[in-house]
Structure 1
Amino acid sequence: MTDSLITDVIFDFCGVLIDWRTEACLSGRFPDDLVAAICADDDPHGFFRYEDRMDAGEDFDAIWPDVVAEQGEEIAGVFRYYIDHYDDALPRLLPGMAQLLEDLRAAGYGVWGLTNWSHETFHLAFAKFPELERLLQGTVVSGVEKMHKPNADIYELTLERFGLTADRCVFFDDTARNVDGANAVGIHGVRFRDADQARRDLAALGVVL
Structure 2
Amino acid sequence: MADARPITDVVFDFCGVLVDWQCHCALDGHVDAALVERICADDDPCGFFHYEDLMDGGMRLDDVLPIVEREHGKDIAGIYRYYIEHYGDALPAMVLGMEGLLRDLKAAGVHVWGLTNWAEETFHFAFERFPQLEELLEGTVVSGVERLHKPEAPIYRLAEERFSLDPATTAFVDDTAKNVVGAEALGWRGVRFTDADGARDALRTLGAAI
TM-score with structure 2 setting the length: 0.96
Q: Which residue of 1 aligns with 2:170?
A: 169
1:155 maps onto 2:144 in alignment: no
Contact 2:174–2:180, Cα closer than 8 Å, also in 1: yes
Rounded to whole Å, the distance in 1 between the matches of 2:5 and 2:135 is 25
1:28 maps onto 2:29 in alignment: yes
Residue-by-residue CA offset, 1:115-172 (whole Å, 9 max, x unaligned):
0001111111111111000000000000000000010000010011110011111111
Q: Which residue of 1 aligns with 2:188?
A: 187
RMSD over aligned CA atoms reads 1.1
Q: CA deviation at 1:28?
A: 2.2
Other structure's SS at 1:140 match: strand
1:122 maps onto 2:123 in alignment: yes
1:145 maps onto 2:119 in alignment: no
Moved over 6 A (4+): none
Q: Which residue of 1 aligns with 2:137?
A: 136
Instruction: For 1:23-172, list aligned pairs within 5 A.
Output: 23-172=24-173
Contact 1:26–1:82, Cα closer than 8 Å, also in 2: yes
Rounded to whole Å, the distance in 1 between the matches of 2:67 and 2:159 is 31
Contact 2:101–2:196, Cα closer than 8 Å, also in 1: yes
1:198 maps onto 2:192 in alignment: no
Rounded to whole Å, the distance in 2 between the matches of 1:118 and 1:106 is 31
Amino acid at match of 2:32: P
Q: CA deviation at 1:5?
A: 2.3
Provide the identity percentage. Answer: 58
Rounded to whole Å, the distance in 2 between the matches of 1:63 and 1:31 is 23
Residue-by-residue CA offset, 1:42-61 (whole Å, 9 max, x unaligned):
11110000000000001110
Contact 2:108–2:208, Cα closer than 8 Å, also in 1: no
- Gaps (5+ residues) in structure 1? none
Contact 1:67–1:76, Cα closer than 8 Å, also in 2: yes
Contact 1:55–1:142, Cα closer than 8 Å, also in 2: yes
Other structure's SS at 2:14 match: coil
Contact 2:12–2:172, Cα closer than 8 Å, also in 1: yes
Rounded to whole Å, the distance in 1 between the matches of 2:168 and 2:61 is 37
- Gaps (5+ residues) in structure 2? none
Other structure's SS at 1:196 match: helix
TM-score with structure 1 setting the length: 0.96
Amino acid at match of 2:117: N
- Number of residue pairs matched? 207
Other structure's SS at 1:189 match: strand
Rounded to whole Å, the distance in 1 between the matches of 2:67 and 2:142 is 24
Q: CA deviation at 1:175?
A: 0.8
Other structure's SS at 1:95 match: coil
Contact 2:193–2:199, Cα closer than 8 Å, also in 1: yes
Q: CA deviation at 1:4?
A: 4.7
Q: CA deviation at 1:32?
A: 1.9
